[in-house]
Amino acid sequence: MIVFWLKALLSGLLVALASTIARRSPAMGSLIVSLPLVSVLSMIWLWRDGTDKAELATYIQNTFWYFLPTIPMFLVMPLLLRRGMEFWPALGLGCAMTILLYILMTAALSRFGVRL
């Protein structure tokens, strides 16, 4: 249980650090959160916990495929905000679009034998 809390604390500190830095420098905060820190940390935690290479490789590959549908949200949300939409509706639309794209990506990949 101590390991769980250590993981949670370290992961939370990264998010807190990024948001604190972003207040002073949006570009630097954006750079920090764009780094795949959560993915890398989760790979480290999985490896440390004894996950075998094949399972870890599948996890990493699936992370790639699930990452792709998230990209449009980072283009659409700024557009919506700049056109006057409030933050919460813009976030809701961005998340809804991402969920729809997850579903479409999963369906498209299954046609090519890729199972997520």
In a domain, 22, yes or no: yes
Query: If you write DSSP's letter for every residue of 27-80 in order, what string do you get?
Result: HHHHHHHHS-HHHHHHHHHHHHTT--HHHHHHHHHHHHHHHGGGTTHHHHHHHH
- Do 61 and 89 fall within a single domain? yes
pLDDT at 41 exceeding the cut of 80: yes
Residues 58, 19 share a domain? no
Nearest to 66 by CA among 112, 114, 26: 114
Which SS3 state, helix, strand or coil, does residue 4 take? Answer: helix
What residue numbers bound the domain in which 93 lies? 52-116
56, 82: one domain: yes
Task: Give the CA dihedral 26, 30, 31, 34, nearest 10 degrees.
Answer: 180
Tens-digit pLDDT profile for residues 1-38: 888 898 889 888 888 988 899 899 988 888 888 878 88
Q: Do 104 and 57 share a structural domain?
A: yes
What pLDDT, on the 0 to 100 scale, is given for residue 1? 81
pLDDT category, 115, cuts 50, 70, 90?
Answer: confident
- Residue at 42 is within a domain: no
Give per-residue pLDDT as tens, 46-58.
999 999 999 999 9
- The reply to whether 84 falls in a domain is yes
Short-list 6, 56, 71, 63, CA closest to 39: 63
Structural domain total, the chain: 2
Model's pTM, two decimal places? Answer: 0.77
Is 45 part of a structural domain of the chain? no
Q: Which residues contact 42 (CB under 8 A, 6 or more apart)?
A: 59
In a domain, 114, yes or no: yes
User: Are 67 and 108 found together in one domain?
Assistant: yes
